[in-house]
Amino acid sequence: MSGNEWLIIGMIAGFLGLMIIGIPVAISLAVSGFIAGYLGFGSSLFNLMPARLFGVVTNYTLLAIPLFVFMGVMLEKSKVAENMLETIGKAMGGLNGGMGLAIILVGVLMGASTGIVGATVVTVGLLTLPALMRRGYSPSVSCGTICASGTLGQIIPPSLVLILLSDIVGESVGALFAAAFIPGLILAGIYILYLLLLGVFKKELVPAIPAEERAETSKKQLVKDLIAHVMPPLILVFAVLGSIVGGVAAPTEAASMGALGALMIAILSRRFSPALLKETLHGTLVISAMVFFILLCAQPFSLSFRGLGGEQMVHALFEMLPGGEFGAILFLMALLFILGFFLEWIEISYIALPMFLPVFMNYGTDMVWLAIMVAMNLQMSFLTPPFGWALFFLKGVAPKGITTRDIYVGALPFVALQLAALVVLFQFPALVTWLPEAIGW
């Protein structure tokens, strides 16, 4: 191997080593990239750095990120999610596994309105886990259902993952949102089918809410609650996504309307206050700053990788794989799955994925289809032990009696279900590509 190839390997090893010893991901990326680039080319390689950084901070599409984050944080802090969960839980409680089904449905709605995994898992965990334990639900099934429902925000638009992937693969945000819609619903449907089967064959794990408790709320009151607590966020979601997918508004414009809509819902529900606005702005700042800081620090790493000839190394690696294009896709999916055990989705998206994209462009792979499969794969990284973030979020709010083993064991069936959904998308690409093509993206 040439000297540059050794530098590339050393850069990747250095990045992983810095992470292992506890250096923050963004700093690890920047340091390993700068050192490898300087050793290979001196300071000349980084003459392009100001333009790369300027390109990130002035990217109009990425401006949608803080706006969608504001929309999600506002809906979460204003207790809209809490009201939705309570109402849907009462409506579904008569079924074995009904509370679990309610959690999945709320995960779909919160995923479509917030896209923030941590907010969903923490909110649903705090509200439902103690109640599920009181009603005799299995601890592992309860934990797995809550974690899995939270991760739906990674695939159901508007998703931060899809916004970043659109920038990476060079496809429009609207096309990816449209492409992810059916796969997201399919995954939620697989979760629901799993819980229904548990309710039939293992009903002791997921018992129904007692009839006396259900009788406390009349059907008329339940309908009123559904209209009051579920319809407003549902209308907001359809308005935001419909305007993007239908081509009426750009993602950033729709995100700004979504942020305004979330603010109006909080005001109309009489939950708005200066303290709520301050808390929402702080949460938006923290999440957005974290995302953009990692994106900026990824630039020296990716610039050094490309400048040192990393793309040629990757091409050579893929040429050795059997199976051509499909063999390469299977290898990529397996690699991303393994990386998901140790890295966050942002690092995988902006470090691992760009290394391999030129290979698939040469094959003529449909980038929209590939991006949705990558998004589905990255979603599993939130559930895979030992570093799945959804597992950590739930552990932080779990009541006494819930062990780490309960959380890990509960997540594993849902990882298998996500793998099954990924296989379905691989076998039937039309599930991804049909809707974008039908509406002209």
Q: What is the pLDDT of residues 210-255, one digit of tens each?
A: 666 666 666 777 778 778 777 887 788 778 777 776 777 777 888 8
Q: Give the whole-number percent of the chain exceeding pLDDT 90.
A: 9
Assess whether pLDDT exceeds 70 at residue 410: yes
Furthest CA-CA distance within the chain: 75
Q: What is the pLDDT of residue 193?
A: 93
Report the C-alpha gap between 209 and 86 in whole angstroms: 13
Q: What is the pLDDT of residues 363-392, one digit of tens each?
A: 888 889 999 999 999 888 888 876 677 887
Pair 152, 111: CB distance under 8 Å: yes
Report the C-alpha gap between 217 and 318 in whole angstroms: 60
Q: Is the dihedral of CA 190, 196, 202, 207 positive or negative?
A: positive
Q: What is the pLDDT of residue 232?
A: 83
Alpha helices (runs of H) in 274-323, residue ranges in sequence order: 274-307, 310-319
Q: What is the pLDDT of residue 114?
A: 61
Q: What is the pLDDT of residue 53?
A: 83
Q: What is the pLDDT of residue 315?
A: 66
pLDDT band per the 50, 70, 90 thresholds, residue 191: very high
Assess whether pLDDT exceeds 90 at residue 403: no
CA 32 to chain centre: 27
pLDDT band per the 50, 70, 90 thresholds, residue 189: very high
Q: What is the pLDDT of residue 93?
A: 64
- Please tell me which residue, 411 or 323, carries the higher pLDDT value: 411
Q: Quick one: tokens of 260?
A: 């305004």
386-404: average pLDDT: 76
Pair 438, 172: CB distance under 8 Å: no
Entry pTM: 0.78
Pair 158, 68: CB distance under 8 Å: yes
Assess whether pLDDT exceeds 60 at residue 116: yes
Q: What one-letter code names the amino acid at 60? A: Y
pLDDT band per the 50, 70, 90 thresholds, residue 414: very high
- What single string gives the DSSP state of each residue in 215-276? HTS-HHHHHHHIIIIIHHHHHHHHHHHHHHHTTSS-HHHHHHHHHHHHHHHHHHTT---HHH
Backbone angles phi, psi at 322, to 5 degrees: -80, 160
Report the C-alpha gap between 274 and 276 in whole angstroms: 5
Assess whether pLDDT exceeds 60 at residue 1: no
Pair 113, 237: CB distance under 8 Å: yes
pLDDT band per the 50, 70, 90 thresholds, residue 119: low
The whole-chain average pLDDT of the chain stands at: 81
Report the C-alpha gap between 165 and 160 in whole angstroms: 9
- What single string gives the DSSP state of each residue in 334-396? HHHHHHTTTS-HHHIIIIIHHHHHHHHHHHT--HHHHHHHHHHHHHHTTTSSSS-HHHHHHHH
Q: What is the pLDDT of residue 349?
A: 78
pLDDT band per the 50, 70, 90 thresholds, residue 440: low
Q: What is the pLDDT of residue 113?
A: 66
Assess whether pLDDT exceeds 80 at residue 125: no
